[in-house]
């Protein structure tokens, strides 16, 4: 399976300001502001990262799914992107559609 690089890449994108922390928070939790004491201080409110192996159907990472957010559970599901630039592109695309969302037909 290899090393899951996506969490480290995500941290870098957020800390370097390439992805707005406020926009990421809104996309992943539906909150516009961090609650008093931060998400970590609020029981059960931390943002959880999940690895979605089912999105990896092609060796070409550019064909992998966009990151997904479940705002009720504060869960972000990512494919194991190894390219910072590609993760940034996919994440910014997902965040840009925060108001309309993407609907799945499972």
Q: Mean per-residue pLDDT for 19-25?
A: 90
pLDDT tens profile 38-56: 766 666 678 888 887 665 5
CATH number of residue 66's parent domain: 3.30.2410.10
Answer yes or no: pTM beyond 0.75: yes
Residue 10 belongs to a domain: no
pLDDT tens profile 69-85: 998 888 999 888 888 89
Q: Cβ(9)–Cβ(84) under 8 Å? A: yes
Catalytic site positions: 72
Collapse the DSSP code of 44 into the 3-class scheme (helix H, G, I; strand E, B; otherwise coil) and give the result.
coil
Q: How many CA atoms lie within 13 A of 50 on its CB side?
A: 14
Domain count, the chain: 1
Q: What's the CA gap between 44 and 25, in Å, rounded?
A: 15
Across-strand partners of 75? 48, 70
For residue 81, give its domain range.
16-96
């Amino acid at each position: 399976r290899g090393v899951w690089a996506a969490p480290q890449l995500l941290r870098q994108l957020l800390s370097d300001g390439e992805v707005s922390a406020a926009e990421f928070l809104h996309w992943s939790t539906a909150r516009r502001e961090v609650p008093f004491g931060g998400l970590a201080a609020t029981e059960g409110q931390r943002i959880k990262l999940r690895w979605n192996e089912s999105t990896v159907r092609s060796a070409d990472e550019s064909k992998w799914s966009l990151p997904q957010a479940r705002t009720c559970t504060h869960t972000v599901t990512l494919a194991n992107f190894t390219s910072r630039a590609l993760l940034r592109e996919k994440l910014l695309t997902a965040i840009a559609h925060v108001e309309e969302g993407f609907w799945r037909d499972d």
